[in-house]
Amino acid sequence: AGAGGGNVLFVCLGNICRSPTAEAVFSSVVEREGYAGDFLVDSCGTGGGSSDWYRPGGSSYHEGEPADARMAAAAAARGVRLTSRSRPLAPTDIDTFNHIVCMDPDNSAAVLRACAAWDAAGRGAGDLAARAEPKIKMMADFLSEAGGFSGYTAVPDPYYGGPQGFETVLDLLDDASAGLLAAVLREEAAGGPGGGG
C-alpha cells in the first residue's frame, strides 16, 4: 500500500490490549464506510514496559503474542475480532504510516524517544523524530462531543483493572474511530499532514 495517505498505525505500550483493538475497530469503521481498499491499518507497542526495546538487542515484552484474552473476549462480544500479533514500533513504521495514533501521552513520548535513539544510531534515513512528530495524534482527541467521554484525554490501559476497563476501551475506540476517519479523510483532501506529502 506504500506511504499512502490512509496509512494509520495505532500505538500503545504492549500492543496486546488497546492498539490491536483500535486497529480492529478502526478497520471495521473504514470497511463500513466503504474505504477498505484505501487504508493500511496496523498496530504496535512501545516495548510493553521494557526500557531497551528500541536498542539493538533490546527486548519487547509480549512480542509475537496475540491480543490479551480478556480484551479479545470483550471485543468478540461486540463482533470485533482481534487478529494481530504484538510487535514493537520499528524505524520503517515512521515512513510507512502517515498517522501514528497513540493511546496516551506516554506512548507518544516513547515513539519520539525511540526515533531520537534511532537517529543517533544511524538507523533509518535520519530525521526520524522530525518526520514522526507531525504524524503523531492522540486517539482521545477524536472522541465525539455526543459520546459522553469529555473527561478522557487518553485511552486508559485496562491491563491491571477489572472487566469494565476493557468495555471502556471498546466504547472509547468505537466513538473515536469515526472522528479519526473523518479527520484522516479531511487531511488527505488537504494534502496530508502539515500540508506536504
Find cell 526520524 and name the residue.
Answer: 128
Please answer whether residues 142 and 176 qualify as being in contact, where contact means their C-beta atoms are separated by less than 8 angstroms. yes
Please answer whether residues 55 and 117 qualify as being in contact, where contact means their C-beta atoms are separated by less than 8 angstroms. yes
3-class DSSP state of 154 = coil
Give the separation between CA 125 and CA 119, rounded to whole angstroms.
8
Query: Among all residues, which ones are annotated catalytic?
Result: 12, 18, 157
| Per-residue cell: 139 | 486517539
**Dihedral class, residue 126 (left if φ above 0, else alpha if ψ from -120 to 50, else beta):** left
Phi, psi values for residue 85, rounded to 5°: -110, 145
